[in-house]
A and B are shown apart, each in its own frame.
Chain A
Amino acid sequence: MSPALVVLIIGILVPFIILISLSMWTRDGFGFDMTPTFENYQRVGTEPIFSTLLARSFWISGIATFFTVLLCYPMAYYVAFHVHRNKMLWIVLMTLPFWTSYLLRVFAWRVILGYEGVINSAFLSMGWIQAPLEFLLYSQTAVIITLAHAWAAFAILPLYVSLEKIDKSLLEAATDLGDGPVRRFLRITLPLSLPGVISACFLIFIPTTGDYITPALLGGPDGVMIGNLIQLQFGPVNNWPMGAALSIVLMLWIGALALVFLFITRKAKDRLA
């Protein structure tokens, strides 16, 4: 057996099998009843809390992904096409804020969005508002803003790589054949950078769906996501099998959504090309 295979088996396959078998057991006081059953999965399918939180997680992380890619695309574009010296330095500078701990950045957003935070104090002192805006913190908006910022580095890098790879002579050819800047972007640059867009979307969507710390610190009662529910199963609720079942359901859903997304982008790419 090759070493890579051993690592794969110990690091991925074995834990996965443990997770699957755990999800088919039931809680029994502080131990487990090991009779296999699909009861946990049935509960995920029937009880409204699970489907609601799953849907909310996909919604929040979908929007966060959309905005992250939308905001990072121009930055990556600028470095790829308009910066000619020290490109690496530019990229490093852009990702510099993301070298700090994730937790710190989430906390920083609490300070910005808080009741007496940066935004509210600024608006108050300028007289734009009479009382602090309460929807800024402890809301789904807060979670979306924070996620969109915290994961930006994961969008900039793949976008930059795919934009940088585009053959500049294609753009010149398009101009020679009479395309304006907009048409040129839509027909050449965008389709050729789609692989970067797709991988950026995946890199952000998959981990943010299960994100736990951002909704815990900024979400408030209505911003709870599926990751928090999974954590609770392993914590105070003390139902590890349920937590395992939820993790697997989440995994399957992300897999399915990713396939659909791939399918749609492939269609769109065919159209554009």
Chain B
Amino acid sequence: MDVIDQLNAVKRGKLSRRAFQQSLLGLGIGVMATPFMPSRAMAQGDQGTLFTWGGYDVPDLFGAYEAKNGALPNFAVFGGAEDALTRLRGGFVADVVHPCNADLIRWVDSGYFQPIDTSRLSNWDDVMPELAAMAGNKSETGAPWMVPFDWGGTSVTYRTDLVELEGEESWDILWDERYAGQIGMLASGGDAWWSAAIKVGVPFDQINTDDAFERISAALREQRPLVRVYTDDVTTLGQALSSGELVAAMTWNSTAVELQYEEIPVRFAQPKEGALTWVCGLMMHRDAPNPERAYEIIDAMLSVEAGEFMIGAYGYGHSNRKSFETFTDEELQGLGLSANPKEILDAGHFSIPQGQEWESRMNETYELIKAGF
């Protein structure tokens, strides 16, 4: 982008956010910070950077990487995928990023990513092909944009000793007025909005209609007085469930599994309406400063050791089919998993990627509701 382009953009009255960022740089704000950046990267021993969800910044997932490079990758953590994308648009560069299936198409369209050369991944042959075949994952060359890594569900984790079920397990637990002030919710619309759609019975292929918008927001509005906290911090939700401050919360698999290890009586519900299911994966930044390390990060995360940790410690599904071999069918069932991911993913509701307009509108509405409007 040179000055002429910039001026033309201004003349036309259109300026993309990237162009705007670049003008900021030109104005000297970025310039001030640049001299410090290379030295910082050097100080960190030239490791690759992984931009991921909280809870994935643990050594257990990067055994192979650590063995080779003598250190862990650098981590940057986000609470929701939409937040992560905004930060990337704001100029943040990481080697590898960890979004999910619902984000894939919009993320690819943003132009920040490059297809992944699977021949450089020693574990690629063991990756379940049905996961890699998600919608929008094939680039022009046939190489995937995203390497699937983990899969699981969003559902209700509830205290079996404190919640009295009325019939089957259901999303209604989170709308039960008996537990006003003891309900926890995920703050990211990517989970809450879709789960509310399941609860009110909106089919996912109609989620972008105005009628669906109204019904879903009405349900979330109705729930708001019952909610004690909206957060994306799984530790906060886990601790609150274990102390009894919350009796039920919308969570991912790992919260329930970790609490069960601490012998807290909780269950990860299998709601009669179906859970929300997802597949997340690893994408490589177009300008990855350290592509060599990027491939090593991805390969380490696809390894069997990483997979066994994901399944055993967090209760998430992994994309490497060999990871499941050390677990018996009963163990997997107890975790709500199966060596055949299709079984689980088909039993739940798999979110359908939406356009940017919808995504912004949905997030805006959910934020209004959370604030009480």
Contacts and interface: CB of A to CB of B under 8 A. Distances in A.
A115 B239 CA distance: 10
B70 to A, nearest CB: 30
A30 B230 CA distance: 26
B15 interface: yes
Contacts of B13: 33-35
Contact of B16 (A31, A236, A240): A31
B367 A237 contact: yes
A127 B202 CA distance: 49
A237 B351 CA distance: 20
A30 B17 contact: yes
B247 interface: no
Contact of A235 (B86, B110, B229): B86
Interface in A143-161: none
B82 interface: yes
Contacts of A221: 224, 227-230, 370-372
Interface string A22-35: 00000111111111
Given A32-B17, A34-B15, A221-B229, A237 B360 contact: yes
Nearest to A238: B360
B27 interface: yes
A14 B360 contact: no
B243 A30 contact: no
A90 B245 CA distance: 41
Task: Give the interface size bracket for B toward A.
Answer: 35 or more
A33 B13 CA distance: 7
B20 A32 contact: yes
Task: Give the interface size bracket for A toward B.
Answer: 35 or more
A234 B368 CA distance: 15
A3 interface: no
Given A14-B27, A115-B245, A138-B228, A229 B16 contact: no
Interface in A125-152: 132, 134, 138
B29 A32 contact: no
Interface in B30-50: none
Interface string A230-243: 00101111111000
Interface string B220-263: 00001001111000000000100111000000000000000000
Contacts of A88: none
A33 B230 CA distance: 33
A14 B83 CA distance: 27
B28 A115 contact: no
A34 B16 CA distance: 10
B243 A116 contact: yes
Contacts of A234: 86
A235 B82 contact: yes
Closest 10 pairs (CB-CB, A-B): A115-B245, A31-B16, A236-B82, A236-B363, A49-B373, A34-B13, A116-B243, A238-B360, A237-B364, A235-B83
15 contacts: A10-B28, A30-B110, A31-B14, A31-B17, A32-B17, A33-B13, A49-B371, A114-B245, A221-B224, A221-B227, A221-B230, A234-B86, A235-B86, A236-B86, A236-B189
